[in-house]
Structure 1
Amino acid sequence: KNKGYGTKEHIEALKKYGPCPIHRKTFIEKILKG
């Protein structure tokens, strides 16, 4: 469904709960910064 890109719901959950150990760190850093 998301073709490898974070969905709005996924990004909101990352901001609320933070990443888990399997998340890509470069992706997470970009999302959480901005």
Structure 2
Amino acid sequence: MDAGTYGVCEVCGRPIPEARMEARPMSTRCVEHA
């Protein structure tokens, strides 16, 4: 969160869907790159 990257996939840079963030708040990758 401090880096301003919370909710953004570390692989592709796209936003991680809200439903995934609710289910897995510590996710650093979108479902496609999980």
TM-score (norm 1): 0.26
* More helix, by proportion: 1
Whichever of the two has the greater Rg, that structure is 1
